[in-house]
Amino acid sequence: MIVFVREFFDRTVRSPEQLEKRGFTVLSAIPVIEVEAKLDGKQLKKDEGRNIAAHLITHLNPKSPVAEAYRVLRTGIQFAKLDRKIKSIVVASGAPKEGKSTTSSNLAITMAKANLKTVLVDADLRRPVLHRVFGVKREPGLTDYLFERAELDEIFRKTDIENLYLIPCGVVPPNPSELLGSEKMKKFVEYLKSNYDLVVFDTPPLVAVADALILANQVDGVLLVASAGKTEIDVLDKAREMIQRVEGNVIGVLLNNFDASATYGTYYRYYRYYRYYDYYGADREKGEGNA
């Protein structure tokens, strides 16, 4: 009885099926990421090391179930629109700490590993983290270019991953929304779309600030990130509504921290088989194999 009451009043997202019943397209479900606090053989501070490793898990452990789930995401995005390719994506979440920066990093890495010239842009001008993840200087970056304090070629960082470039935040500005909505930013977005196979923008949570909404109608699609057992379904509904209001295109949802064994119980092995077939069946047709 207690379990029933708790589940009845629980408004958090629990499974892909729950999202699909609300009209969302679930592009992939990412298992809980369990990593050691090590990077390149060096022991880091526990929380810092695990955080960085989680952002890079598709590169550090490409054969893991998590990396496989991100490849499912890649396939889902590539087939999201049949009439034209998705070349630019805003990664957003409804609320903080739902895994959007981890998603942005691993999505960009996965795309780059498919031989797509990819650029990852840290457009979270309030709490930037991607420079620490990839071990590069934060300045000069995006804001320095928009403030005309740096030239275009000064803000790109070549990462250790082939085909992947990073544009860090730069100096944290007092007016992030105004900068992202500027005419110079709009022209810069068009430049990136013309010169890269895929552009991924990491942005702040939607319910807190308008930054992601400003970029939403300048790109081909918005990927919403949810966290199982944490994200409230009503908040996700609100995020979708806000994006649609500015004529943005929600291409789907990524569900983080999904424990399929707890959700599906004895049916877990069938769920795993379905996801395995879904990924490898699609990629074999493209000749990728077990990349």
- How far apart (Å, rounded) are the C-alpha atoms in residues 55 and 274? 26
CATH number at residue 228: 3.40.50.300
When pLDDT is averaged across residues 175-197 and rounded to a whole number, the result is: 96
Let me know if residue 120 belongs to a domain: yes
For residue 134, give its domain range: 13-285
| pLDDT tens readout for residues 83-94 | 778 999 999 999
Give me the percent of the chain exceeding a pLDDT of 70.
79
Q: Which residue has the higher pLDDT, 126 or 270?
A: 126
Most confident listed range (75-84, 208-217, 254-263, 272-281): 208-217
Let me know if residue 3 belongs to a domain: no
Let me know if residue 29 belongs to a domain: yes
Q: What is residue 80's predicted lDDT score, i.e. its pLDDT?
A: 84
Let me know if residue 279 belongs to a domain: yes
When pLDDT is averaged across residues 239-243 and rounded to a whole number, the result is: 96
Let me know if residue 131 belongs to a domain: yes
| pLDDT tens readout for residues 245-266 | 999 999 999 999 998 765 554 4
Contacts of 89 (CB under 8 A, 6+ apart): 77, 107, 198, 199, 200, 201, 219, 220, 221, 222, 223, 251
Let me know if residue 262 belongs to a domain: yes
- Asked whether the beta carbons of 221 and 251 are under 8 A apart, the reply is yes
- How far apart (Å, rounded) are the C-alpha atoms in residues 166 and 173? 19
Q: Please state the pTM of the whole predicted model.
A: 0.84
Q: Is 180 helix (H, G, I), strand (E, B) or coil?
A: helix
Q: Which residue has the higher pLDDT, 234 or 6?
A: 234
Q: What is residue 35's predicted lDDT score, i.e. its pLDDT?
A: 58
- Residue 3 CA to its chain's centroid (Å): 33
Total of domains in the chain: 1
Let me know if residue 8 belongs to a domain: no
Q: What is residue 55's predicted lDDT score, i.e. its pLDDT?
A: 83
- How far apart (Å, rounded) are the C-alpha atoms in residues 240 and 35? 31
Let me know if residue 4 belongs to a domain: no
First to last CA, the chain: 47
